[in-house]
Structure 1
Amino acid sequence: MLVPFKEEMPVFEPYLNQWRLQPEGAPIHTPGSDLLPVRFEGRAAMLKVAHDDEERIGARVMAWWAGDGAAEVYRQDEQALLMERATGPGSLMRMALDGQDDEASRIACATIARLHRPRGAPPAGLASLEDWFAALFLAAREVPARFAESAAIARGLLGSQRDVVVLHGDVHHDNVLDFGPRGWLAIDPKRVLGDRGYDYANLICNPELPTVTRPERFHRQVAVVAEASGLGTTRLLQWVAAYAGLSAAWFLEDGDETYADSDFQVLALALDALAGNGARHSG
């Protein structure tokens, strides 16, 4: 059994004692949280201690899903979340790179559909999709040549939202994991409410996927995701164009020009495809 270094324990210690957890791996540190693999009542679990409101509200979303399409939450307070840990051997990223891109996309789409099922009142503190796109609209004012078309499409979509749901907000190949007998489940949601189409766009845009800017991959996965999601090709392409611009704006804010360039390439592919369909803007 791997036990974390003592100096890394203080953030986790109250929960290890309170929830009777046994450390089972090295800590993972992200800008918004600290995570520790643990055992809980004999089960593989992950302890996540949040450091910002986005992570804290995301934890509320995880609990609200109640294990339907997402990892099950075992314990929770205002600061920390204890959830089931993925132990299955599968990986959507590996599938996408090993000739199973279609299947990976369909699995992700099926997971998204489970997350979007009708439920009760949503958790408190969610952002509107309009607020979520603020970085794109700012970028379009500052650098219209690069962002104006994406922003115009986004405005059209936001003004014609259809199926408004609690969104995951960051669906990509490493946020839908293999939980063995429980199947493929989502982790790490954001805190946003809006049109369900938003959640499918990053399957086309994910810059961590090396093949994402290849035209043949783009067109094939647009077809697969449009069918699996029920969005239709034009609506999906519009969400891809809007999301690619937003993602590029975020990456440039972080100084990551490489990933921003990937998003701009996907944006160009989406705009070309929409021009071919005669439908750049949403109504």
Structure 2
Amino acid sequence: MEWLRRWRLQPDGDAFETATSVLTPVLLADGKPGMLKVARVAEEIRGGAVLAAWNGHGAARVLAAEGAALLLERATGTRSLVRFVESGCDDEATRVLCEAAVTLHAASDDLLFADAGALDAPELVPLRVWFRELLNRADGTRATVAGSDPGFVRRAAAIARELLDGEDTGPQEVVALHGDIHHGNVLDFGERDWLAIDPKGLVGDRAFDYCNLLCNPSHERALEPGRLERQFAVAADASGLAPDRLARWLVAWCGLSSVWFAIDGDAAHTASAAAIGKRALALLR
């Protein structure tokens, strides 16, 4: 691979693939561990630019970047937030995820006020654009996706529209968002503690970044009796968000997630995302 040669890297394990990237554990020229990530889609390239802009503040450091290739510091710690949940430390995992979001949001100015003409200025996607599939289907611009719950989709879209329309005048705090904080995207980096990886690179109300973690590490776990309500309370406390505001964003996120799963033909997750959203409706005051 040309990147191994160009950056003087040695493979340190088998490469593996995701739907959007090819990743290879490597050793740098000085023997330190790294992770070579080669993106397959534009969204991943944008995420790499966001990681670079965070400059290691709450996120994995970018050691080198060119085109679709990204060289990152590697998570070498042994702790796992998924295992935290499995071992009964669900509350602690949620607090770690919330702390990760708080840390990233504190560095927002570096992304929001970067020189737009700079080559390394990250592109951030507004939440209104991110939510377009939900909004378009609810207002009739596009047909309802087969398998989705039309009633819930309409309710979630109405709440999303209210939130998005109030971004400049409501209680929202607009920040650079990770966009996909969950138990598999905040890893143990040893001495550097917990750090985020794989951002989507969005911009909007900070409350949005606390929603996906409540639907993870799996929908089945999120739907266990009392689990959503308890972790919702933990997240509201750790984030300092008003519970009603967080609940509204959670409903909106579940609506969007359900529509995305329906578009992908995933009937089970279409239904479970909607089920989480309906439980979130009960949290509204």
Residues 209/145 of structure 1: CA separation in 2 closer, same or farther (3 Å cut): closer
* Cα distance between partner residues in 1 of 2:213 and 2:87: 16
Listed one character per residue, the Cα deviations across residues 122-155 of structure 1 (whole Å, up to 9, x for unaligned) are 5342211100001111332334323001001111
With normalisation by structure 1, the TM-score equals 0.89
CA drift of 1:207 comes to: 6.2
CA drift of 1:115 comes to: 0.6
1:181 aligns with 2:181: no
2:129 aligned residue (128, 131, 136): 131
Q: Which moved more, 1:120-129 or 1:146-155?
A: 120-129
Matched residue type, 1:58: G
What is the percentage of aligned positions where both structures have the same residue? Answer: 46
CA drift of 1:163 comes to: 1.3
1:21 aligns with 2:17: no
Contact 1:205 1:212 in 2 (8 A): yes
* Cα distance between partner residues in 1 of 2:15 and 2:261: 26
1:152 aligned residue (136, 152, 158): 158
Q: For structure 2, list consecutive stretches of 5 or more residues without a partner in the other structure.
A: 115-120, 145-149
Contact 2:183 2:217 in 1 (8 A): no
* Cα distance between partner residues in 1 of 2:229 and 2:152: 22
CA drift of 1:215 comes to: 3.6
Query: SS of 1:211's equivalent?
Result: helix
* Cα distance between partner residues in 2 of 1:243 and 1:160: 16
Contact 2:82 2:217 in 1 (8 A): no
* Cα distance between partner residues in 2 of 1:272 and 1:217: 14
Tell me what 1:39 maps to.
27
Listed one character per residue, the Cα deviations across residues 158-182 of structure 1 (whole Å, up to 9, x for unaligned) are 1222211111111111000011110
* Cα distance between partner residues in 1 of 2:85 and 2:254: 19
Query: SS of 2:63's equivalent?
Result: strand
Contact 1:68 1:114 in 2 (8 A): yes
Tell me what 1:268 maps to.
278
| Stretches (4+) displaced over 6 A | none
Tell me what 2:211 maps to.
201
1:256 aligns with 2:269: no
* Cα distance between partner residues in 2 of 1:215 and 1:135: 30
Matched residue type, 1:31: A
1:239 aligned residue (235, 243, 249): 249
Q: For structure 1, list consecutive stretches of 5 or more residues without a partner in the other structure.
A: 1-12, 278-283
Matched residue type, 1:117: A
Query: SS of 2:222's equivalent?
Result: coil
* Cα distance between partner residues in 2 of 1:20 and 1:85: 16
With normalisation by structure 2, the TM-score equals 0.89
Contact 2:176 2:202 in 1 (8 A): yes
CA drift of 1:71 comes to: 0.6
Listed one character per residue, the Cα deviations across residues 192-222 of structure 1 (whole Å, up to 9, x for unaligned) are 1111111100111236253111240011011
Contact 1:207 1:262 in 2 (8 A): no
CA RMSD of aligned residues (A): 1.4
